[in-house]
Amino acid sequence: MARGVQRKYFSNARQPFSIVILGKTYYVISSPSDTTDFYSNITTLSWDGFLNHTLHTFGVSSKRLEFLWTPPEKATVLNPKRKCLIHLTQDLYKQHLLPGPTYSGLIEKYRQSLQDLSSWEKLSWRHGKDVTARSNTFSLYDLCAQVMIDATQLSLFDPVLFAIDPSMTDKMRIFTDQLWKLFYNSVLLDAREIKALREKYIRAFSIYQRLPKEMRKNEAWIVTALIDQYKEQGIHEGDSAAMLVMVYWTGDANAYKLAFWIMSYILFDSDLYTALVAETSPAISDNGDIDMSYLAKNCPLLHSVYSEALRLRKRDLAFRQVETDTHIGGKVLRGGNLALVPICQLHDDRSVFGKDAGTFHATRFQKEASFQNCPSYKPYGGGKTYCPGRFFAMQEIFAFVAVLLNRYSIQKQQECRRFPKPDEASLTLGVSRPLPGEDLQVHLTNPKLLGTNPGESVGGVCT
């Protein structure tokens, strides 16, 4: 929509403009230079203001929001500077999700979970297939979602969460696809299903955080730290459970969708398939062990494929609350409204990425490393809110893709002749999903049962 408005009314000058949606005014910012100002302005363009709306969306009571911004009376070991819970949580995210000791522990938990969940027996059983068969057919989207959501949940939370509500991971796709309805909260939208799911998740996390630590001993350090802080500061149980839902959703919401697109690009390009098997094979041992460090440091083609897929499929919006009148791009943004950046307009910028910006090129970021830091590439946000989870997201996807390529022979079904179409009509809070009916059916063969090598049937179709 923003692109069409720019073309029709502003001769593609990419100046900021305002639109009114459901009675709310939004300022749309689309030029790379203005976007830099958008991210660097932490005085009059507030992420904190938009965060209140996000917290309420996930179920935090609007009447108690102010308490989350109130500094505690006493300092603690985890909070020596007496920061409010919101800012402390942001610090804990950075401590846990940026490379360091606790991050290494999180990656190791993910590696172990993925290694187990991607075994032939677990894959076949989870999808209702014959575990003794030499080969099985899977929905690629289901495969990516179920393995990666389960693995991430086991990385963050104790397995007891599965016992509290076994259906949580299966419902995550519905929750992710419909969450936008809660953000816009209009009587014109049917939000009954997403509201019911939100309450279901809040109930599960209310039970989870009541459990003694010895029953949650396998959870990630950050989850333990957050629950401790919730209790120390006397946060209402419903609000703390809602914030844990945010943690849960943030970890699960987008990785499986990006993995689906990456695998789709690979399966439609036999040369790319062959090259990636060769590049990643040293990271996957014969017994299934995954060398996460090798994948992160020694796979430039995989890194380029990841970045290119993220550029083409990251279709969301970045928001800020306009606290007071703000000048950007020669325009005045009035206080009390919201400013937004349509990430797709940056990522489709032909002046930066070339006339073929809308086309996937596996080596685009390998050939031009400067694209990673250019103003037109913002998959993780920017400024003070630069996503701390970007390293974990990249490594979990690298590992999943490498496991599929090296542990199994994988082919798309013969009838899957057309590349899946993304759903760009629905609002998304991250990576676009495929349109309903645009999934790929893939044929996985366990090479150990055939005496063959993974990658022999590279990128082909099975009849």
Binding site residue list for heme: 387
Signed CA dihedral, 231, 88, 41, 378: sign only: negative
Instruction: Kindly write down the DSSP assignment for every residue of 350-376, as one continuous string.
Output: HHHH-TTTTS--TTHHHH-GGGGGSTT
Query: Kind of pairing, strands 24-28 and 17-21?
Result: antiparallel
State how far the Cα of 148 lies from the Cα of 397, in Å rounded to an integer: 8
Of 203, 204, 240, 207, the C-alpha closest to 225 is 240
For the stretch 196-205, what's the b/e string if a residue is b when 16 or more beta carbons lie within 10 angstroms of its beta carbon? ebbeebbebb
Contact 345, 314 (CB under 8 A): no
Neighbouring C-beta atoms of residue 208, cutoff 10 Å: 23
3-state secondary structure 253-285: CCHHHHHHHHHHHHHCCHHHHHHHHHHHHHHEC
Contact 302, 403 (CB under 8 A): no
Beta pairing partners, 339: 27, 320
At 362, phi and psi to the nearest 5? -60, -35
| End-to-end alpha carbon distance in the chain | 41
Query: Tokens in use for 461?
Result: 């179709």
Neighbouring C-beta atoms of residue 344, cutoff 10 Å: 21
State how far the Cα of 444 lies from the Cα of 447, in Å rounded to an integer: 9
Angle between helices 192-210 and 168-184 (to 10 degrees): 120
Beta pairing partners, 341: 318
At 192, phi and psi to the nearest 5? -65, -45
Q: Binding site, residues? A: 387
At 70, phi and psi to the nearest 5? -90, 125
At 462, phi and psi to the nearest 5? -105, 145
